[in-house]
Amino acid sequence: MKTDIILTGVGGQGILSVAAIIAATALRKGMYVKQSEVHGMSQRGGDVQSNLRISDKPIASDLIPMGKADIVLGLEPIEALRYAHYLKKDGWLIANSTPYKNIPDYPPIEDVLAEIKKFPNHIILDADTEAKKLGSSLVANVILVGAVSPYLGLEYNDLEEGIREIFGRKGESVVELNLKALKKGLELSQEFVKIK
Amino acid sequence: MKKLLLLGDEAVAQGGIDSGISGFYGYPGTPSTEIIEYVQRSPQAKERNIHREWSVNEKTAMEAALGMSYAGKRAIVTMKHVGLNVAADAFVNSAITGVNGGLIVAVADDPSMHSSQNEQDSRYYGKFAFTPMLEPSNQQEAYDMVHYGFDLSEKYKLPLLLRLTTRIAHSRGGVEVKDEARPENEVRLPDDPVQFVLLPNIAKRNYEQHLLAEQPALIEESEKSPFNKYIDGPDKSMGIVASGIAVNYLMENCPEGCNYPVVKIGQYPLPYNMLKKLFDEVDTVLVLEEGYPFIEEQLRGFFNTSPKPIKGRLDGTIPRTGELNPNIVAKAIGKEIEIVYSPNSIVKARPPQFCDGCGHIFFYKALNDVMEKYGKGRVFADIGCYTLAALSPFNAINSCVDMGASVTMAKGAADAGLLPSVAVIGDSTFTHSGITGLLDAVRENTNMTLFILDNSAVGMTGGQKSAATGRVEDIVKGLGVDPDHIRIVNPIPKEHQTMVKVFSEEIAYPGLSVVIPRRECVQTYIRRIKMQKKAKAAK
Ligand SMILES: Cc1ncc(C[n+]2csc(CCOP(=O)(O)OP(=O)(O)O)c2C)c(N)n1
Ligand code: SF4
């Protein structure tokens, strides 16, 4: 089992916490993990990405080869497309639909979503709105982890354990909220795939 | 043994802690910053009181580390690649003095210039100074090489350069770490009381009888190093020399092992015999290395009488610039990876931006208003968050070269008659390398205006503590700037008019002025408030 995931977003959106949940879960299962991050210049509103590889065998490269990614998970729609060409043919492009507009030439959002829909395997969900419905815009990330969860090669209840591990220090109510967000993401993603 | 998931940088830090180090020295710089940040968070380091405070710049860090080594203890000095330019005088001469306690210079290169002005390859410095070098290919090696490197450094009494690159430094991988740390060295003077006194006759002795005399032994160490390996393969039509992270990209493309014979390089000077053996056995040699064609050039020298082709960056097999990746390596070994999708033209560039509320924004708004009447091309800036003003909508600065160059370039331009001449520097960059340049301007009362943007932090690299905090005016006064022309402003929207007035007055003044816009970095402010809340809640 080996899953190669490219996580993308805008600096400050928290791709590293998404990576942390998935990596912690994989490690708990005794898997190998490599996670390459961008630090430095990109911390303020610039595009950021992280290569996350999990496998039951040792992993050689820190970078995912272009053309071989199993999943590109975008916390923002343009950012999802920025690395979509790393996907293998039947890879999954999973994107939050809420644009982060901090550039003057942001294209019409319908056009962006239309490009995402051209990928045979794609899922689009409005994680920001769903997060607000759950009571905290901070859990948009975890909703996206839920959305990607069927494709990670990890068991759902192991991801729940991963969430407990990462958020445990912050108290039971935070854990509960994030577990709910995870569940919501999974439901939305399953629904999307069904009606597509 | 426990297994931790560590960044390459963190593996170096933990490797140091576990191999009996007494001090880390360094100045922040991507991608090396996380080495010292890890040590600053480490309970072990705190308990042992390992030195872990930032230095003012890479040169002071290098010299302090050499001082610790003089006293018999082990030290690591960390910096980004361009930091080694700043520390070069100390580094090159530390190879002539040699060391007492083990000394490792951990330098992180940034091929592809993700966050740097250039992609210089530090291995040339190691060769230039004749020091042994190590280059890890994964996080485990980064950890192991520190212990090994200290042993080598102490055995040969020479400093050792540990070369990292972005994708090792900033990638996490599993690392098995030792359960127990080796004890630190005791304070112990060098056996030879004049070892560190580089008067010409002693320097000549050290250079010839120690540094150069040890070179054959260092090559011999490389021949038998656990980090250099000859891995045979059945297909002799090509041989591959791979170093550092290139080894990973090669293995990624050959999961069942490589068909060609491979020499893996992790220790320098290069193992001549190992390479000769490969060269003799194969028809062509492909060199895979992150950075400049360092090994490739040396191979061309070693085997210059042979017609066998040597392929790499110099003949175009590998792109001449930029970092490697698995796809480039795949192509070079004839296993090109199929790419189904192409980059989408709807995707627009998203450059980094000032944080909302950052004082730099309001400073530049005022500066732009004042400079409008003088025309473009007069603002010499420096390196830090404030360099972002080179981009739209500010388009406010005309240079960014090396730390401190704003002050001295503005001076040179003023000397040339380009008036007014304005310099913009951050507080940390000012203490790093701006102070000495300002003293030049003080001596001649140069007609220029220096803005020191004091946000009490090293913002660009993640908000480390700045050595300038709380003492910028004192430094400026102490250097001899006329106190009437040292002005402090608060860069917030409501102070716009005041800033415009102060800036106009000081720019019009035909001598040296220093203006200090002072406002804490938004990021460090947010962090500080969070910590305070946490501390309160804990009470
Ligand atoms: C010789 C050298 N060392 C380190 C760096 C990395 N670096 C770039 S900007 C910067 C610090 C900037 O801090 P400051 O001047 O206070 O400006 P701020 O980012 O806070 O606005 C550092 C450490 C570098 N580019 N060159
Ligand atoms: S990190 Fe600090 S100095 Fe840099 S842009 Fe943000 S607020 Fe400004």
A6 phi and psi angles, rounded to 5 deg: -105, 125
In terms of C-beta distances under 8 Å and separation of at least 24 residues, what long-range contacts does B394-398 make, across chains too?
B394/B364, B394/B368, B396/B364, B396/B367, B396/B368, B396/B371, B397/B424
Report the pocket of ligand 2 as residue ranges, CB < 6 Å: A 44; B 354-355, 358, 360, 385, 455, 459, 521-523
Task: Encode burial over B520-537: b for 16+ CB neighbours within 10 A, e otherwise.
Answer: bbbbbbeeeeeeeeeeee
Token output for B221 = 């160490």
Question: What is the value of ipTM here, to two decimals?
Answer: 0.95
> Residues of B numbered 27-46 whose beta carbons fall under 8 angstroms of chain A's beta carbons: which are they?
30-31, 33-34
Q: How far apart, in whole angstroms, are the C-alpha atoms of residue A25 and residue B518? A: 45
The CA-CA-CA angle for residues B464, B466, B469, to 5°, reads 135
Closest Cα in chain B to A42: B352
Q: How far apart, in whole angstroms, are the C-alpha atoms of residue A81 and residue A93? A: 8
Q: How far apart, in whole angstroms, are the C-alpha atoms of residue A83 and residue B83? A: 32
Compute, in angstroms, the gap from residue B113 CA to the centroid of ligand 1.
15
| Candidate from B120, B403, B430 with most ligand 1 atoms within 8 A of CB, to mutate | B403
Task: Using a CB–CB cutoff of 8 Å, tell me whether A1 touches chain B.
Answer: no
Contact assignment for A37 to B172 by CB distance below 8 Å: yes
Partners of A125 in beta bridges: A96
Compute, in angstroms, the gap from residue B277 CA to the centroid of ligand 1.
45
What 3 state SS string does A95-107 have?
EECCCCCCCCCCC
Question: Which residue positions in chain A have pLDDT lower than 50?
Answer: 42
**Chain A residues with CB-CB distance to B338 below 8 A:** 67
Question: Which residue positions in chain B have pLDDT lower than 50?
Answer: none
Compute, in angstroms, the gap from residue A39 CA to the centroid of ligand 2.
14
Is the separation of the CB atoms in A32 and A56 below 8 Å? yes
Is the separation of the CB atoms in B289 and B243 below 8 Å? yes
Per residue in A119-161, pLDDT (tens digit) is 999 999 999 999 999 999 999 999 999 999 999 999 999 999 9
Q: What is the pLDDT of residue B401?
A: 98
**Chain A residues with CB-CB distance to B174 below 8 A:** 32-33
SS3 for B320?
coil
Compute, in angstroms, the gap from residue B521 CA to the centroid of ligand 2.
5
Token output for B339 = 């790419």
Compute, in angstroms, the gap from residue A60 CA to the centroid of ligand 1.
33
Contact assignment for B340 to A89 by CB distance below 8 Å: yes
**Minimal CA separation from A119 to chain B, in Å:** 9
**Chain A residues with CB-CB distance to B339 below 8 A:** 66-67, 85
CATH topology of domain B229-343: Rossmann fold (3.40.50)
CB count, 10 Å around CB of B147? 18
Q: What is the pLDDT of residue B413?
A: 98
**Chain A residues with CB-CB distance to B344 below 8 A:** 81-82, 84-85, 115
Contact assignment for A46 to B352 by CB distance below 8 Å: yes
Do strands B310-311 and B284-288 pair parallel, antiparallel, or not at all (unpaired)?
parallel
Q: List the CATH code of the domain at B2-213.
A: 3.40.50.970
Q: What is the pLDDT of residue A42?
A: 45
> Residues of A numbered 68-97 whose beta carbons fall under 8 angstroms of chain B's beta carbons: which are they?
68, 78-79, 81-82, 84-85, 87-89
Tell me which DSSP letter residue B56 carries: S
Token output for B198 = 């580089």
Token output for B40 = 């600053």
- Alpha carbons within 13 angstroms on the beta-carbon side of residue B175 total 31
The CA-CA-CA angle for residues B151, B155, B156, to 5°, reads 120
Q: Which ligand is nearest to the CA of B360?
A: 2
- Alpha carbons within 13 angstroms on the beta-carbon side of residue B338 total 4
Do strands A32-36 and B171-177 pair parallel, antiparallel, or not at all (unpaired)?
antiparallel
Compute, in angstroms, the gap from residue B488 CA to the centroid of ligand 2.
19
Q: What is the pLDDT of residue A12?
A: 84
Give strand ranges (E) for A19-102: 32-36, 47-55, 69-74, 87-96
Q: How far apart, in whole angstroms, are the C-alpha atoms of residue B128 and residue B84? A: 12
Ligand 2: residue whose CA is nearest its atom 6: B355
Is the separation of the CB atoms in B312 and A40 below 8 Å? no
Contact assignment for B34 to A39 by CB distance below 8 Å: yes
Ligand 1: residue whose CA is nearest its atom 7: B29
Task: Using a CB–CB cutoff of 8 Å, tell me whether B170 touches chain A.
Answer: yes
Tell me which DSSP letter residue A170 carries: G
Architecture per CATH, domain A2-195, reads as 3-Layer(aba) Sandwich (3.40)
Closest Cα in chain A to B110: A40
**Minimal CA separation from B153 to chain A, in Å:** 29
Ligand 2: residue whose CA is nearest its atom 8: B358
Q: Which of B432, B459, B463 is nearest to B79 (CA)?
A: B432
Per residue in B249-283, pLDDT (tens digit) is 999 999 999 999 999 999 999 999 999 999 999 99
Q: What is the CA radius of gyration of chain A?
A: 16
**Minimal CA separation from B434 to chain A, in Å:** 22
By percentage, how much of chain B surpasses pLDDT 90? 97
The answer to whether domain B359-524 has CATH 3.40.50.970 is yes
User: Interhelix angle for A172-195 vs A127-134, to 10°?
Assistant: 140
Contact assignment for B337 to A65 by CB distance below 8 Å: yes
Ligand 1, closest atom to CA B30? 6
SS3 for A7?
strand
Q: How far apart, in whole angstroms, are the C-alpha atoms of residue B87 and residue B62? A: 6
Ligand 1, closest atom to CA B428? 16
Instruction: Name the CA dihedral angle for B402, B166, B30, A70, rounded to a multiple of 10 degrees.
Output: 130
> Residues of A numbered 14-53 whose beta carbons fall under 8 angstroms of chain B's beta carbons: which are they?
23, 27, 32-47, 51
The string of DSSP codes covering B376-425 is: SS-EE--SSGGGGGGSTTT----B--STTHHHHHHHHHHHTT-SS-EEEE
B186 phi and psi angles, rounded to 5 deg: -80, 160
Domain boundaries, chain A: 2-195
B5 phi and psi angles, rounded to 5 deg: -95, 105
What amino acid occupies position B492?
I
The residue whose two tokens read 């190590």 is B134
Compute, in angstroms, the gap from residue B360 CA to the centroid of ligand 2.
8
Tell me which DSSP letter residue B469 carries: T
Q: How far apart, in whole angstroms, are the C-alpha atoms of residue B239 and residue B502? A: 67
Q: What is the pLDDT of residue B332?
A: 98
Domain boundaries, chain B: 2-213, 229-343, 359-524
> Residues of A numbered 157-176 whose beta carbons fall under 8 angstroms of chain B's beta carbons: which are they?
none
> Residues of B numbered 351-410 whose beta carbons fall under 8 angstroms of chain A's beta carbons: which are they?
351-355, 385, 388
Closest Cα in chain B to A100: B350
Is the separation of the CB atoms in B466 and B433 below 8 Å? no
Host H or E run for residue A133 = helix A127-134
What amino acid occupies position B89?
D
Token output for B264 = 């893996």
What amino acid occupies position B38?
Y
The string of DSSP codes covering B80-146 is: EHHHHHHHHHHHHHHHHH--SS-EEEEEEE-TT-SSSS----THHHHHHHT--EE--SSHHHHHHHH
Is the separation of the CB atoms in B502 and B487 below 8 Å? yes
Closest by Cβ to B339, choosing from A39, A41, A66: A66
Q: Which of B261, B309, B317, B308 is nearest to B289 (CA)?
A: B317
Closest Cα in chain A to B8: A36
Contact assignment for A66 to B327 by CB distance below 8 Å: yes
- Per-chain mean pLDDT for chain A: 94
What amino acid occupies position B142?
A
Task: Using a CB–CB cutoff of 8 Å, tell me whether B338 touches chain A.
Answer: yes
Q: How far apart, in whole angstroms, are the C-alpha atoms of residue B359 and residue B517? A: 8
User: Interhelix angle for B34-41 vs B8-18, to 10°?
Assistant: 50
Query: Which residue out of B10, B112, B247, B341 would a mutagenesis test of the A interface target, given it has the greatest number of A Cβ atoms within 10 Å?
Result: B341
Q: What is the pLDDT of residue B538?
A: 79
Is the separation of the CB atoms in B453 and B386 below 8 Å? yes
Q: How far apart, in whole angstroms, are the C-alpha atoms of residue B250 and residue B231? A: 13
Fold identical between B2-213 and B359-524? yes
Q: How far apart, in whole angstroms, are the C-alpha atoms of residue A2 and residue B208? A: 54
